[in-house]
Amino acid sequence: MPAPDNILARYAAMYRLIHDSALTFLQAWERTQSPLRVLEIGAEPYVFTARLLETFDWDVHCVSVPPYIWPGEMPSPQYVCVDLQIHERKRRVPVTLLNVERDSLPYADGYFDAALCMDVVQYLGYHPTRMFYELRRVLRPDGLLLLTMPNGLSLRRLLWLIGGIVDADPFTARGVYARRQRSIAPQEIDALISGCGFRIKRFEFLNLASLPDSPLPRLLAIAAQVITSVALPPLYRRRDYIVLLATASRPLQAAYPDGMYHQVRLYPPLT
C-alpha cells in the first residue's frame, strides 16, 4: 500500500538531513569503489531509494517489512516491485517483503557490494543480530555497510528526559515495526556490528534529527544542538545521530553483546 503524499512529504522533511548526510558519505566512497548492486534494508516508503537512484546509477534492491500486519501473521518472504519516477525515467526496483528478525535474506553469499541500513535498527525488538549476520553474509568481502540511527545517549534525549518529555514513540496502527522499540547506545552498536564480522571505518556523531513542533521539546533540542556543536569529544559524542561506515572484512559470526541481550540460549541458531 503506497503511503499518501502528505505522509511522504512529512517523512522526506523529517529525514532530509539524514539522507543528505548518507548521500555525502556514499559519494565519498563511490569515488574509489564502483558498486554494482546495493541492498537497502527498511526501504519503505522509498524516499531515500529515489534519492539514491537520482544520484547513482546503481542496481538497487530493497527489503521492507509489510505494514499493517502483526509479525506473527507475516507470511514467508514475498517478492514485489515498486516503480519510482527518477527524473524523466521510471525505474522498477525489486522489493522483498520479509521480517529481518525472523527470515534469512533470500540472496546468495557475497551478492551485494553495499548495504544500507538507515534508521532500521531502532525499530527492531528481538533480534538485530540476525539482521547484521545476514547483511554480513550477503555482502562481498570488503563490501560496505552504511548505518544511521538516533544516538540513544544524545544530549537532546537527556534534556528531554530531565524535562519530563517522553521520547518513546506512541503506538501506531501501522504495526509493531513502525514504532521505535529500543534506544541504542553508541557502544552497543559498535559491539554488535564489530562482533558480526564488520570492521568499522567511520563512526560519526552528527546533529541530524528533525526539530519537533512543540515549544519545550523544540527549545531543548535546539539547546542540545548548540551545546554539542562544540567539537569537544564528550559533547561530540552527545550529538543526536550516528552515521557509521563499516566493511565486511572480518569472518562471519553472530554476536550477542553482554547487557544488550538476555536469555541468548533461547535464540534460534543462525544458519
Question: Interface with other proteins by CB under 8 A: which residues?
Answer: 69-73, 101-102, 124-128, 152-153, 157-158, 161-162, 164, 166, 168-176, 179, 181-185, 187-188, 237, 259-267
C-alpha angle with apex 253: 250 to 257, nearest 5 degrees? 105
Q: Which helix (H) or strand (E) holds 169?
A: none
Which of 86, 158 has the CB closer to other proteins? 158
The distance of closest approach from Cβ of residue 217 to other proteins in the complex, given in angstroms and rounded to an integer, is 13
Distance of CA 104 to the CA centre of its chain: 17
Residue 104 contacts by C-beta under 8 Å, 6 or more apart in sequence? 134, 271
Residue 130 contacts by C-beta under 8 Å, 6 or more apart in sequence? 100, 101, 102, 254, 270
Which of 38, 159 has the CB closer to other proteins? 159
The distance of closest approach from Cβ of residue 116 to other proteins in the complex, given in angstroms and rounded to an integer, is 22
Partners of 148 in the beta sheet?
118, 243
Which of 89, 171 has the CB closer to other proteins? 171
The distance of closest approach from Cβ of residue 37 to other proteins in the complex, given in angstroms and rounded to an integer, is 30
Which of 32, 263 has the CB closer to other proteins? 263
The distance of closest approach from Cβ of residue 205 to other proteins in the complex, given in angstroms and rounded to an integer, is 12
Question: What is the distance between the alpha carbons of residues 10 and 66, in angstroms, rounded to a whole number?
Answer: 20
